[in-house]
Each structure stands twice: as C-alpha cells, then as structure tokens.
Chain A
Amino acid sequence: AQSVTQPDIHITVSEGASLELRCNYSYGATPYLFWYVQSPGQGLQLLLKYFSGDTLVQGIKGFEAEFKRSQSSFNLRKPSVHWSDAAEYFCAVAEGAGKSTFGDGTTLTVKP
C-alpha cells in the first residue's frame, strides 16, 4: 500500500528566508506526486504535481519541488518565503482512478 510521510509537523521560518518541506513516499510503481496548500478553514489548493519527465517541477506562488526516485522523496522548496505563505502543506501520492494518499501535513509559520 502506498504511504506518505511528512517528517516535520511544524516549521517556522523568517520572512524572506528559504524554505524546504520534506516528503517521503512509498509506492510500488512510478508515482504521481502532489503538493497542496491549505489555508485555515479552507479546501486544498494544488501547488504543483509530478507525473513524469523533468524531475524539477515548478508550481504556483514561486514553489518548486524535486522528485528523487533514489530517495523516494518529493521535497517542496521556495527561495524566499512571504508572510502569506503561512498555511498547512500536504504532500500526496496518487494511484489509478485518482485515489490519493496524503501525508499528515506540515504547518508553516512565517516570522516577520
């Protein structure tokens, strides 16, 4: 069965600093990988996705993620964090028919 681990429950960074959120997955075949962001009380917004091809994918809001098959990782990065990036971030892996397995999320706090 597929699984997703987000090792960091909570991360705090200063505004303008760089950010990396970790995601490790377990899946038998080539994975479809996603990062979502959730603001308090809201639904999920897709930041970026990886299906195949270039292992460095660009997303919205200046985020990028790198797929590393050898490490079973799909870490999310942003070079300079803005206060509006404070939210909860979820990594997910999908199998066929769109069923997704989500990590438990990482809460990002941005210090002024």
Chain B
Amino acid sequence: SQTIHQWPATLVQPVGSPLSLECTVEGTSNPNLYWYRQAAGRGLQLLFYSVGIGQISSEVPQNLSASRPQDRQFILSSKKLLLSDSGFYLCACFPGLAGRNEQFFGPGTRLTVL
C-alpha cells in the first residue's frame, strides 16, 4: 500500500521569505499527485495536481508554485510568502488502481506566516 511523507511537519516563516514543502510517495508508481491547502475552519482547496513528471496543473491563481522532479516527489514552493499563505498543506496521491477512485493523504504541514 502507498505511504505519503511530508516535511517539515510544522513551519514558521516570516512574510517575504521563500518556501519549499516536500512530499514523497512510496508503494506506487506513476501516481497522480495533489497539493491541497486547508485554511483555518475551512475545507480543503485544491492548489495543484500532477499526472506525471514535469506536468503541473494549477487550480487557482496564487503566490505558490509546484514542481514534480521525480515520479514520486512533489514540491510546493514560493519565492515570497504572504500572510494569507498560512494554513495546513496536504499532499495527496491517487494511485489510479483499476476500479478505485480514492485519494490517500499525507500527514500534512502546518505553515504559519508571521
């Protein structure tokens, strides 16, 4: 079965600083990968998804970017953080197994921008 790792678990960054969050997946090949953000008291908002290496789709315009340098690695970045970037970031994997259409989620990264 697949396992999703995210790091760091928590992060406190000043406004204007850069950001790099990493997600790696084990136990599956060529998965679809996703970045979601959860603002306080809200549901999950899909930020980016990727169907393969170097293929990134952005769902909402924002201050963030994503990259997929390897099949099972997905990175969320920013050159200059905003206060509004604070939130809980979840990486998810869709293995694409026949007959199943469910995502698996990592443990998340809590980002606080001060």
Question: Once the chains are docked, how many angstroms separate the CA of A34 from the CA of B101?
Answer: 10
Shortest distance between the CB of B45 and any CB in chain A (Å): 8
**With A44-B90, A94-B103, A97-B32 as contacts: A104 and B43 at CB distance below 8 Å:** yes
Beta-carbon contact of B105 and A43 below 8 Å: yes
Interface size on B, residues (CB 8 A): 26
Contacts between chains A and B (CB distance < 8 A), count = 65
Task: Assess whether B43 is in contact with A42, with CB atoms less than 8 Å apart.
Answer: no
Of the candidates B43, B51, B94, B107, the one whose C-beta lies within 8 Å of that of A102 is B43
Interface string of A54-73 (1 = CB under 8 A from B): 00000000000000000000
Interface residue? A100 (CB, 8 A): yes
Q: Are A98 and B108 in contact (CB under 8 A)?
A: no
Q: Which residues of A contact B (CB under 8 A)?
A: 4, 6, 32, 34, 36, 41-46, 49, 51, 90, 92, 94, 96-105
